[in-house]
Amino acid sequence: MRAFAFAISISVLGGCGRGTHVSEDSGAPILPATTVSSSPATAPAASVLTPMGPLSFAPIAKAADPAVVLIQTTVDQENGPRRRGGHGEPPRGLGTGTGFVVDADGLIVTNNHVIDAADHVLVRFATGRVLDGAIIGRDGLTDLAVLRVKAETLPTIRMGDSDAVEVGDWVVAIGNPFGLDHTVSAGIVSAKGRSRDDVPILMEGYVDFIQTDASINPGNSGGPLLNLRGEVIGVNTAIRGGNAQGIGFAIPVNMLRELLPLLLKDGKVVRSAIGVLVKDIRVSPLDDRTKNGWVDGQGKPLMQGVAVDAVESKGPGGKAGIQAGDVIVAFEGEPIRREIDLRWRASLRGVGKVARVSLMRKGKPIDVSVTMAELPVPATPRPPMH
């Protein structure tokens, strides 16, 4: 059985050591790369010039470290038993995680599970400065949260483009594993698009993880995963099996980009829905796709899209004419390759807004207009409607 855990530690800590003091410039230089090639006598038929790894990750770490913070959370004694369903008088708990500054006026990103149920949040900087953190936005379905501290001209980290990340790219993680503040590790992107089937957490949530072998441990939660330009491309979130296998997972920063304005405006995310239950057709053999009518205009099996399993008859999709057996191939003109594509785009379209949904129905293309409804938050786990 595969074991997964969020990368957060709960412990009682003393004082934190200080990180190295560096310039507040958040940029990081692109490190030089050297190309190598084989001699003609030994080169394969199709040789590829491969950049070598960076000589050092130090420039990236020095530029980003001032904007990485240690987050400490406490739960009051009188609230402990009531929140945890336990008994007796527990000690005042102290949890640790990581965050990073994205705005010089004190905006900090972390994981929702780092600050979940916290009564007090403290933010400790590499200089040793400690400030109270106020929770201004959180979203349990992506495990993202935003804090604000009263400060100005803080060092920040730029956000990159997680869609541009490729498997095999070098990455650097900075965090506070086991309370050891400002720890740097490096590795590569091992995979992209890890789903709830791969990482069975946030089963009602939106999972599209970047997998990395850069060392991530309890306490790294909420810290940045950086590319070689020193840009954040992921938010470190989960580990597998206590990280014994060297496998960690990060939320793509492009998900954060889309949610951040909503969290700043409303403190939460109000999601929209079509009212359909779908599944990724790619898991079905080609013969089954043909039998099910999941085909294009030439009768060939579709290679991507999501098949509609069920439709809420009085929901937006049902009113628009979507039927069980249809394959959704585009949403607002954007291709739908897999389930998370539809779930994510539909959820952020906006309640009351009209969306153009492109279908294939037994080889016939159909476009329908759907007026999006609000996505209900289920009281108990169930297959999500999108």
Q: What positions carry a catalytic annotation?
A: 113, 143, 221
Query: Residue 146 belongs to what H/E stretch?
Result: strand 144-148
Q: How open is the CA angle 260-263-267, to the nearest 5 degrees?
A: 165
| Cα 142 from Cα 255, distance rounded (Å) | 8
Strand 276-280 versus strand 306-311 pairing type: antiparallel
The dihedral through the CA atoms of 328, 331, 336, 340 has a sign that is negative
φ/ψ region of 376 (left if φ > 0, alpha if ψ in -120 to 50, else beta) reads beta
Other C-beta atoms closer than 10 Å to the C-beta of 239 total 27
Angle at 275 between CA 274 and CA 280, to 5 degrees: 85
Other Cβ atoms within 10 Å of 5 Cβ, number: 15
Per DSSP, the residues of 156-187 read ---B--GGG--TT-EEEEEE-GGG--SEEEEE
